[in-house]
Structure 1
Amino acid sequence: MSSLSLHLNSPRLSAALPYLALTGGIVSLSLGTSFAKSLYPMVGAAGTASLRVGLSALILLAIWRPWRARLTRADLQGLAIYGVVMGLMNLCFYMSLATIPLGVALAIEFTGPLTIALLNSRKLIHFVWIGFAVLGLALLLPLDGNVQALDPVGCAFAAAAALFWALYIVFGKRVSHLPSGPTVAVGMSMAALTVVPFGVATAGLKLLEPSILILGLVVAVVSSALPYTLDMIALKGIPKRTFGVMLSGDPAVGALAGLLFLGEHLSGLQWLAIAAIITASIGAVLTSPAGEDQPLQDPAAPA
């Protein structure tokens, strides 16, 4: 028993925990986003985003009870900004999925964290891994001749989601010194206050139908409550550059989820894309020296 306790408290496990948390968050988010598509015909994009964020906020408030945490006015201001950005990121991404393909939306949205990764790169090898990530995302784009016909409004929503994703990393980092549970609970509550009015305006009382609430609850747990909690754990121990490059696994995991749960078979180029993205993620972790493998406090400043 003492040997097991010693193993669980080992420095190696402690160092790996943020990366395990981020990986778990990526997998959970991809599964939840795939499942959320079943709600679109019922309540629309804004309604789906409202159910996801609103129910997540209720779950997190019940679990973490953030009112017991000792938060200063500055903490609450930081959490408010973090939450509003989180809500707008979710809303814009779900709105983009209503009119453009998931692969294109993910590729556009990923330019946000990729920009954060680029701003925090200092050595040539870091740009090599970013290049692998860009290559992988480019191969995942559905370049079948229909790209020119993409809905400009959907692309604009995806671009806005990219901006808010980048801001989510920046402002999430600024409140990452706070306890993870209460941080995500307060942030998600602010996100709900931001997003739910849009869902109510478009779907109305249909959001309260039992069958829809049950589906929304599953989406909320798998695609919001769990991954955002894991994100806060990851942000405590992963520098922004590594965090941004590792998030490139999102489209790859999404493609695998489509294969396993939706029967969507992958082409050779898609498997090559997954290999490139995995290479970027592993390379970013392995080439982060001990002195750099600390959380950054500002996206434009070295550690």
Structure 2
Amino acid sequence: MYVGAALAVGLFDRLSPTVVAVLRVVSAGLVLLIWIRPPRAAWRWPALRRAGAYGLATALMNIAFYEAIARLPLGTAVALEFVGPIVVAAVATRRLRDVGALLLAAAGVVLIADVQWAGSAAGVVWALVAAGMWAAYIVLGKRVATAGNGFDDMAVGFTAASVVLCPLLLIGGPVGLAPLASPVVLLVAVGVGVLSSLLPYALDQIVLRRLGRGRFAVLLALLPATATVTGLVALGQVPGPLEAIGIAAVVAAVALRSRDGDQGAGDGPGGITGGEPVEGRS
């Protein structure tokens, strides 16, 4: 996922982050349509409504995340975005240790925000918007995974989101839409779509079918660490001491969250049964 994000950063001097994010969704949707070929039933209501909500939430998460990493180091943006999964993990149960996990995550976010706020308040805001969309992605992704064929819904959802968000391509970038005529730019955009959307979200569907949303959010604790390593290796972004402490606090918070009590395959199609209360996206 974050190798794809590092590739996307390389396009930001030619296209706006929003356009790169939309291209990511469009390219992933096209590849999915060719690969999956969803049947007619997948395009009917309410399957289309379910898939469309999932696809739109995913696309908006991507847009907000790319706007964030255009202004913040990759590891910092991911750690701030991670407040979404920690909220999902925390509200999935009301145990005392989970309240502690939420407080630890909040402390980590404050540390990271203090480091970056003076330099890019907009980046922090975009990262927190991405956090809200990531929480929505987990909830809607669980519904898609348990309601039927998750891969069909992925293809339909990404296609629907592409149709809705295509007008945003008119935003262009520093040199307008001319870079879209470049085969290299389009090839990199497809690579970003495959690496950052197609492969990780397909794997998410496999995992979400087997695990509850809370436990899935716990496993996402790996992401801030891998994003920081990727940012260091691919982009030369070295985290500062307070930033590193904040990232570690967010990861520790999700690790602290209790791992038992989640329902996996027993969750209902709506994603709100089986013992987990309703809870509220790179």
Closer/same/farther in 2, CA of residues 48 and 71 from structure 1, 3 Å limit:
closer
By how many angstroms is 1:282 displaced? 4.5
Deviations along 1:234-277, one digit per CA (max 9) or x if unpaired, are: 21122222223332432221111123333444556666556555
CA distance in 2 between partners of 1:93 and 1:265 (Å):
19
Closer/same/farther in 2, CA of residues 96 and 90 from structure 1, 3 Å limit:
same
Partner of 2:162: 192
Amino-acid identity (%): 31
Closer/same/farther in 2, CA of residues 133 and 204 from structure 1, 3 Å limit:
same
TM-score, normalised via structure 2 length = 0.80
SS at structure 2 position matched to 1:39: coil
Partner of 1:253: 226
Is 1:262 aligned to residue 232 of structure 2? Answer: no
Closer/same/farther in 2, CA of residues 171 and 251 from structure 1, 3 Å limit:
same
Deviations along 1:182-217, one digit per CA (max 9) or x if unpaired, are: 121112112222333212342435323101011112
Match of 2:38 among 56, 66, 81: 66
Is 1:122 aligned to residue 91 of structure 2? Answer: no
Is 1:235 aligned to residue 208 of structure 2? Answer: yes
Deviations along 1:70-98, one digit per CA (max 9) or x if unpaired, are: 66521121111111121122122222333
Partner of 1:217: 190
Partner of 1:22: none
CA distance in 2 between partners of 1:269 and 1:299 (Å):
40
Partner of 1:13: none
Match of 2:21 among 36, 39, 49: 49
SS at structure 1 position matched to 2:93: coil
Question: Gaps (5+ residues) in structure 1?
Answer: 1-28
TM-score, normalised via structure 1 length = 0.75
Closer/same/farther in 2, CA of residues 58 and 258 from structure 1, 3 Å limit:
same
**Native 8 Å contact 1:133 1:245 kept in 2:** no
By how many angstroms is 1:43 displaced? 1.3
CA distance in 2 between partners of 1:299 and 1:103 (Å):
34
CA distance in 1 between partners of 2:114 and 2:12 (Å):
25
**Native 8 Å contact 1:49 1:195 kept in 2:** no
Please tell me the root mean square deviation across aligned C-alpha atoms, in Å.
Answer: 3.1
Closer/same/farther in 2, CA of residues 256 and 299 from structure 1, 3 Å limit:
farther
Aligned 1:1-303 pairs, distance under 5 A: 29-67=1-39, 72-137=44-109, 141=112, 143-144=114-115, 147-151=117-121, 153-177=122-146, 178-202=148-172, 203-265=176-238, 276-277=249-250, 279-284=252-257, 287-289=259-261, 292-293=263-264, 295=267, 297-298=271-272, 302=276
* Rg (Cα) greater in structure: 1
Q: Which amino acid aligns with 1:194?
A: V
Closer/same/farther in 2, CA of residues 154 and 135 from structure 1, 3 Å limit:
closer
Question: Gaps (5+ residues) in structure 2?
Answer: 278-282
CA distance in 1 between partners of 2:126 and 2:239 (Å):
27
Closer/same/farther in 2, CA of residues 68 and 75 from structure 1, 3 Å limit:
closer
**Native 8 Å contact 2:75 2:225 kept in 1:** no
Larger deviation, residues 59-68 vs 262-271: 262-271
**Native 8 Å contact 2:55 2:161 kept in 1:** yes
By how many angstroms is 1:116 displaced? 2.0
